A and B are shown apart, each in its own frame.
Chain A
């Protein structure tokens, strides 16, 4: 019989039996063998592996001192030299979830495979799902048996250095990477099956999960428009005539900032639209349709607004991934804020 694989398990002070909130400050320690849920884990691992040691950390200590905790945990892991590190399950507990992610990252630094388990909305999963293997669980420890079974299955696979397949097949949270695999049946057949399931009210699982958009806290209303500095942003692909900045017409990776300080309106002689997502011809006769400079100048003269901000921002808002859009949007917003802009008109085509 081959030697069982070596598993090091991480649990918090509560599951180690040290105590609840009153003990959450305790530092990192190690015990030989399995502790608490580690016993269930060991049972699920069967003869193939055993829990050689349990690393324990207080939730407050680890989540508040992540660097120091990662160092201490890493030191123990190096000494214990396991084949795989298993952390949790943390369920819906936010600090414990973060701690489990810290443990998995510390393991990875040492080249050790690691897996944890927690609720998909645990802050640990929200922050680290892209680089930590996480088995999804329910909110509370009532989902312990399924969580431990998932940890054991993936833990063994990782310990044997077997490559992980797609998250959907293996049962871990999607890490945002696409992997090619054969679903066995062509797309049109799967789509029709799904449609039939939907029409009959049967359960089905989409292959393109909906990502709910980020919710942004609305900005406070402007108190006094007549004193406010107003900025302009357009996603209509406005470029200087002839596109000397060589902006792309779709999937933009950057935006351009242009001065309108000397301009009363945008002239079609100097500006045009370069955007792959709509018919640009009309804007090319009057670019103010997508960047309302002419209107704001009139309102500025009438004293209805305080001032038109000197800089405007332009890019083509088409086919850009959300992550890139978020980065570009943040950068524009930071620049507008630094320029003392109080209100912004964003024209989207």
Chain B
């Protein structure tokens, strides 16, 4: 599940929760301009695909933003 209100998703029992951008634009951010917007959205979608390939035992947050921050 990709959601900007990821805490709500986790507390209501979703097992694989991917942190989205904002409620109004979950997979991307138009303020970044077309190219960066697309790259940002792609990072979230790739994060979601990584999440469904990862074993989990209960509600778990996958945060593509945090991973990007570590990489930079």
Tell me the bound Cα distance from A256 to B1 in angstroms: 19
Whether A216 contacts B15 by the Cβ 8 Å rule is yes
- Known A-B contacts A218-B15, A299-B45, A345-B48; A236 and B26 likewise in contact (beta carbons under 8 Å): yes
User: Does B61 lie at the interface of the complex (its beta carbon under 8 Å from any beta carbon of A)?
Assistant: no
Min C-beta distance of B32 to chain A, whole Å? 12
Which of the four size classes fits the interface of chain B? 20 to 34
Given contacts A214-B13, A219-B15, A299-B45, is CB(A349)–CB(B26) below 8 Å? yes
Cross-chain contact of B27 among A218, A230, A288 (Cβ < 8 A): A288
Q: C-beta contact mask, B26-40 vs A, less than 8 Å → 1, else 0? A: 111010000000100
Q: Could you give, for residues 225-245 of chain A, a 1 whenever the CB lies within 8 Å of some chain B CB and a 0 otherwise?
A: 100001000001000000000
Task: Flag A115-147 by CB within 8 Å of B: 1 or 0 each.
Answer: 000000000000000000000000000000000
Asked if B54 and A221 make an inter-chain contact with CB atoms under 8 angstroms apart, the answer reads yes
Given A221-B52, A295-B45, A345-B45, A213-B26 contact (CB < 8 Å): no
Whether the pair A298, B25 counts as a contact (CB closer than 8 A) is no
Please tell me if the beta carbons of B27 and A347 are within 8 angstroms of each other in the complex.
Answer: yes
Q: Do B54 and A289 have beta carbons less than 8 Å apart?
A: no
Task: Name the CB-closest residue of A to B4.
Answer: A349
Are the CB atoms of B11 and A289 closer together than 8 Å? no
Answer whether residue A348 sits at the interface, using C-beta atoms and an 8 A cutoff. Answer: yes
Nearest Cβ on chain A to B52's Cβ, whole angstroms: 4
Contact size class for A?
35 or more
Contact present for B23 and A299 (CB under 8 Å): no
Kindly identify, within residues 313 to 349 of chain A, every residue whose CB is under 8 Å from any CB belonging to chain B: 343-349
How far, in angstroms, from A74 to B38 measured CA to CA in the complex?
67
Whether, in the assembled complex, A65 has its beta carbon less than 8 Å from a beta carbon of chain B, the answer is: no
- Given the interface contacts A218-B57, A289-B26, does A345 sit within 8 Å of B13 by beta carbon? no
Report yes or no: B45 in contact with A289, Cβ–Cβ below 8 A. Answer: no
**A289 contacts across to B, CB distance below 8 A:** 24-28, 41
A51 at interface (Cβ–Cβ under 8 A)? no
A194 within 8 A of B: no
B53→A295 contact, CB < 8 A: no
Which 9 A-B residue pairs are closest in the complex by CB-CB distance?
A218-B15, A295-B45, A348-B3, A213-B13, A343-B52, A289-B25, A213-B12, A282-B24, A346-B1
13 more A-B residue pairs beyond the given contacts A292-B2, A292-B44, A345-B49, with a C-beta to C-beta distance below 8 A: A215-B13, A216-B13, A218-B16, A218-B55, A218-B58, A225-B49, A281-B24, A282-B30, A289-B26, A304-B49, A343-B49, A348-B1, A349-B4
Measured CB to CB, the residues of B under 8 A from A are 1-5, 9, 11-13, 15-16, 20, 23-28, 30, 38, 41-42, 44-46, 48-49, 52-58
Which residues of A pack against B, CB within 8 Å?
Answer: 213-216, 218-222, 225, 230, 236, 278-283, 285-286, 288-290, 292, 294-296, 298-299, 304-305, 343-349
